[in-house]
Structure 1
Amino acid sequence: MTVTLKLLPLAVGAMFACLPYANAAQDNVNTLSNFRQTGNTTPAETIPQAGQTADALRKNLEQIKLPPGFKIELYAVVPEARHMAIEPSTGVVFVGTRKNRVWQVTDRTKQRMASDVVQFASSVPFKVPNGVCFSPDGVLYVVEQNRVLAFPAAQFFGEGGPDVAAAVVVPQGKLIPTQFESFNHGARACRIGPDKKLYIALGQPWNVPPKDKLADLDRNGLAGIVRMDQDGKNREVYAHGVRNSVGLDFNPKDKTLWFTDNQVDGMGDDVPPGELNHATKAGENFGFPWYGGGKVRTVDYKDQNPPAGVVFPQVEFAAHAADLGMSFYNGKMFPQKYQGGIFDAEHGSWNRTKPIGARIMYIPIKDDGTAGEAEVFAEGWLTPSGEYMGRPVDVQTLQDGSLLVSDDYAGAIYRISYTGSK
């Protein structure tokens, strides 16, 4: 980590010197990385937390079914809310999107609902800033389609306006080769591992990639998970054969990596299954594109020999339910049954005759470190008639042990708490 990422919040005021306005938006990150002001005086966008939209979202939540003793409430109105990162000391929630916004969600009164939702770092021209994650020492990482940025003390700098302290971890155009940029599978997910390295899941741009592109994809970590030092150095491919993972987390007990993976489309309503995978060491291959999900072979690669030692999923989810964000539950609020297990957000199908998904799944982890059978934890965002009221994307645990759920369709974050007897 460079010295610029170790700044104390108390030094914020002394770090900025006024400079002429940087006219080119692409220059702003370099300006901010030198702790200089861009001259941008446009107020950051704010999202009202009261009114018709909030009232309608609360009404919709009456349809959500949960186990006895649990309740769900509106935490924040957040347009296009995707992956979330919770700042360790203050509980400020940073929310990525598939557009050009990162949101800063603050609960100032600790009443477990947002006091304000403000555009974060509005001087920065983000492109698909879906992946957000925190290091244990409080640095926010934002992984875009083809760039990685770091923001020290983001919760404090973000209070000051459009300009924030920033550092470039991976420059624009260097996360993946630019010829592989695509609107398809371009949303990244990230985590800081127990080894203090930054892990990033990289989807590849095809449903099933052409054979002549496979080696280049694999060499660059697409259709895989890469890891690197927090300053971007020493990059390597950690996991191969991953079609499009948009959710990963580490088991606090044994420090191993788990991740979701979305299966191949167009093979039928009920095949292939979605996946929850378990990586125990670097270099493992999880079977794509030879397998489209589980042990179902793809048409394109059915005559090709898969790599030796393919690691098959720990859990097979319903086909096309689109399992995205996942996290280990590390809180104490929920009953013992849920502690140490995995919560998983199913975004919902887009190409199935009868829609499925739009729910939160729970997966227990056994004493031997393997997964038990998945079960539905929260559902109701998909109506009996097949209409989506919401589409969950990510799940994260607040400091009080409640569970946050993001929803990019409804533009909201929900909070699930437990009030029953344990």
Structure 2
Amino acid sequence: MRKHILIVLGLVVLAGIGIFTWLGWPDKARVDVAEVTGQRPRITEPRSQMIPTVKVADAVGWPAGAKPQAAAGLTVSRFAEGLDHPRWMYRLPNGDVLVAETNSPPRGRSFVDQVMRYLMGRAGAGVPSANRITLLRDADGNGEAEFRSVFMTGLNSPFGMTLFDGQLYIANTDALVRVPYTEGATKIDAKPEVVITLPGGENHWARNVIAAEDGRTLYVSVGSASNIAEKGLDLERKRANILQVWPKEKTSRVYAAGLRNPNGMAINPQSKQLWTVVNERDMLGSDIVPDYLTAIELGDHFGWPWYYWGGYPDKRVEPANPQLQQYSKRPDYALGPHVAALGLTFAGDVNLGQRYAHGAFIGEHGSWNRVPPSGYKVTFVPFTDKGWPAPGAKPIDVLTGFLNAKGEAQGRPVGVIGDRTGAMLVADDVGNVIWRVAAARTPAR
């Protein structure tokens, strides 16, 4: 009997291998990731998959004394450590740094949810959310936060933070909330006031918020609930977009749409225009679709879920939407496939020398479904002095080494901001560290 069971199991395994071979699983990249970056990336034919390619870098953390590798002319050190899944940061006017220690809210019980829980757990994202904002203070300017305090608790997967008209706004997964703020405060006990509700949880749970360039409104980013709306478009209502919010009136409108998962947002100091980084769709192979960096204008639609990169149809999406194709906006700059671009800030907020005088710094959290892996680093996209990506420019690696020689994740970068000296702070949600990157010739002040 046991022999028969083993034979049956063997046949099942062989059949499974045969099916995976027929499906081309796991899909491996056929072009270099650099070819899928820049203003004119190579968009190859899709290789649609029934089962996604899975290449998860197991989270192992940093060995004692280890750290990422900074580009030539830069140094890297620990600004703070011992945090609990730090994802996002915000610098207050007095130089204090707020850190959102946060994670996904509990996932559902469907098979897909269970699989994603397992995969994200391997990637270091399986811990419960601390639902906390911590304040870090480097009072003596030596590049290390010697003071920290629990700034706020009782939040719901908080992410983005911004000051506006004397109040601190926090983007929970299910609502934009606010509390009164006093400069220099190290703790806030006030009950948050809801400004607007947001569709919470699901696939892309992190919500960001920044002050708009008009001085009157806020931008709030809300990711999709799925890969390509396979759970139905009703679930995507008020998602996959950037909202414009009027805080006093507690009203909002869709500012731009068709953005699968916009996360990092920043105002370009050269043009005073909104920019964002976006995570694009999965299961079309390891070579596409590129995540991207792009400027945003009112009324833009970037095609999701029906189209990608300015009009390439995703034939998996039903019902089709042919009338949208000619209106799908092409992004400004491709960052490479599956890099999971999350963090975004501009030169000016960060000052690392002449090589980085104009452009955008981007935290790439790293792929979970590409062979070989992509991302897992902080990059810089050079801009011209007119405020646009430099023609022909490729991303420059600023901070690398997050994957070890075995392909394990010692860390994963997320948010990037400047500290009060112009050095760059990088939130590492696997290493539970805030890294500080500075120009080697300029000692911490």
Shorter-chain TM range is: 0.7 to 0.9
**1:60 is the counterpart of 2:66:** yes
| Alignment TM-score, normalising by the size of structure 1 | 0.76
Conserved 8 A contact 1:275-1:294? no
Task: List per-residue Cα deviations over 1:386-417 (Å, max 9, x = no partner).
Answer: 11110000100112110000011111100000
Deviation at 1:315, TM superposition (A): 1.1
Of 245, 254, 276, 2:271 maps to 254
Separation of aligned partners in 2, 1:210 and 1:333: 43
**1:86 is the counterpart of 2:97:** no
Of 203, 206, 230, 2:223 maps to 203
Separation of aligned partners in 2, 1:382 and 1:232: 46
The 1:383–1:297 alpha-carbon spacing in structure 2 relative to 1, beyond 3 Å, is farther
Of 97-106 and 81-90, deviating more is: 97-106
Q: Higher relative CO (CA 8 A, sep ≥ 6), structure 1 or 2?
A: 2
Match in the other structure for 1:73: 77
Separation of aligned partners in 1, 2:86 and 2:183: 18
Deviation at 1:365, TM superposition (A): 1.6
Match in the other structure for 1:95: 100
Match in the other structure for 1:396: 417
Tell me which stretches of 4 or more aligned residues in structure 1 moved more than 6 Å.
Answer: none
Conserved 8 A contact 1:83-1:189? no
The 1:409–1:294 alpha-carbon spacing in structure 2 relative to 1, beyond 3 Å, is farther
Match in the other structure for 1:298: 314
Task: List per-residue Cα deviations over 1:328-382 (Å, max 9, x = no partner).
Answer: 1215742123123100000001122322211001011223432132222221101
SS in 1 for 2:286: coil
Separation of aligned partners in 1, 2:311 and 2:340: 18
Match in the other structure for 2:363: 345
Of 348, 357, 360, 2:378 maps to 360
SS in 2 for 1:318: strand
Deviation at 1:101, TM superposition (A): 1.7
Amino acid across the alignment from 1:60: A
Amino acid across the alignment from 2:429: D
SS in 2 for 1:275: strand
Separation of aligned partners in 1, 2:80 and 2:309: 35
Separation of aligned partners in 2, 1:296 and 1:362: 27
**1:158 is the counterpart of 2:186:** yes
Paired residues, what number? 349
SS in 2 for 1:82: strand
Match in the other structure for 2:138: 107
Match in the other structure for 1:117: 148
Separation of aligned partners in 2, 1:351 and 1:291: 20
SS in 2 for 1:83: strand
Conserved 8 A contact 1:84-1:95? yes
Conserved 8 A contact 1:86-1:134? no
Q: Could you tell me which runs of 5 or more consecutive residues in structure 2 were left unpaired when the two chains were aligned.
A: 1-60, 104-128
Amino acid across the alignment from 1:290: W
Conserved 8 A contact 2:338-2:366? yes
**1:186 is the counterpart of 2:205:** yes
Of 326, 333, 342, 1:315 maps to 333
The 1:187–1:332 alpha-carbon spacing in structure 2 relative to 1, beyond 3 Å, is closer
Of 92-101 and 258-267, deviating more is: 92-101
Conserved 8 A contact 2:89-2:427? yes
Amino acid across the alignment from 1:191: I
Conserved 8 A contact 2:338-2:369? yes
Separation of aligned partners in 2, 1:370 and 1:333: 18
SS in 1 for 2:86: coil
Separation of aligned partners in 2, 1:131 and 1:258: 15
The 1:332–1:182 alpha-carbon spacing in structure 2 relative to 1, beyond 3 Å, is closer
Match in the other structure for 1:230: 247
SS in 1 for 2:427: strand
**1:147 is the counterpart of 2:172:** no
Amino acid across the alignment from 1:391: R
SS in 2 for 1:120: strand
Of 261, 277, 280, 1:263 maps to 280
Amino acid across the alignment from 2:157: V
Separation of aligned partners in 1, 2:251 and 2:407: 47
| Alignment TM-score, normalising by the size of structure 2 | 0.73
Match in the other structure for 1:289: 305
Conserved 8 A contact 1:272-1:296? no
Over the matched positions of the two proteins, sequence identity in percent amounts to 28
Match in the other structure for 1:132: 161
The 1:154–1:82 alpha-carbon spacing in structure 2 relative to 1, beyond 3 Å, is farther
Separation of aligned partners in 1, 2:249 and 2:378: 33
The 1:238–1:96 alpha-carbon spacing in structure 2 relative to 1, beyond 3 Å, is farther
The 1:307–1:139 alpha-carbon spacing in structure 2 relative to 1, beyond 3 Å, is farther
Match in the other structure for 2:193: 168
Deviation at 1:79, TM superposition (A): 1.5
Conserved 8 A contact 2:292-2:332? yes
Task: List per-residue Cα deviations over 1:120-165 (Å, max 9, x = no partner).
Answer: 223xx21110122233x55321100111222332664434xxx523
Match in the other structure for 1:408: 429
Deviation at 1:213, TM superposition (A): 1.5
SS in 2 for 1:388: coil
Conserved 8 A contact 1:391-1:407? yes
Q: What's the Cα RMSD here?
A: 2.4
SS in 1 for 2:66: helix
Conserved 8 A contact 1:157-1:164? no
Amino acid across the alignment from 1:150: R
Amino acid across the alignment from 1:189: N
Amino acid across the alignment from 1:165: A
The 1:155–1:106 alpha-carbon spacing in structure 2 relative to 1, beyond 3 Å, is farther
Match in the other structure for 1:47: none
